Amino acid sequence: MQKITPFLWFDGKCDWLKDKYGLSWQIIPSVLGELLSDPDREKSQRVMQAMLKMTKIEIKELMQAYEAR
Q: Could you tell me the CATH number of the domain that includes residue 31?
A: 3.10.180.10
**Residues with Cβ within 8 Å of residue 66, at least 6 apart in sequence:** 35, 38, 43, 46, 47
As a residue count, the chain comes to 69
26 vs 30: which has the higher pLDDT: 30
Residue 27: per-residue pLDDT: 79
- Overall average pLDDT of the 33-55 stretch: 95
pLDDT band at residue 5 under the 50/70/90 scheme: low
Closest CA to 10 of 60, 50, 56: 56
DSSP 3-state assignment of 35?
helix
pTM: 0.71
- Overall average pLDDT of the 23-32 stretch: 85
Structural domain range at position 19: 2-67
pLDDT band at residue 19 under the 50/70/90 scheme: confident
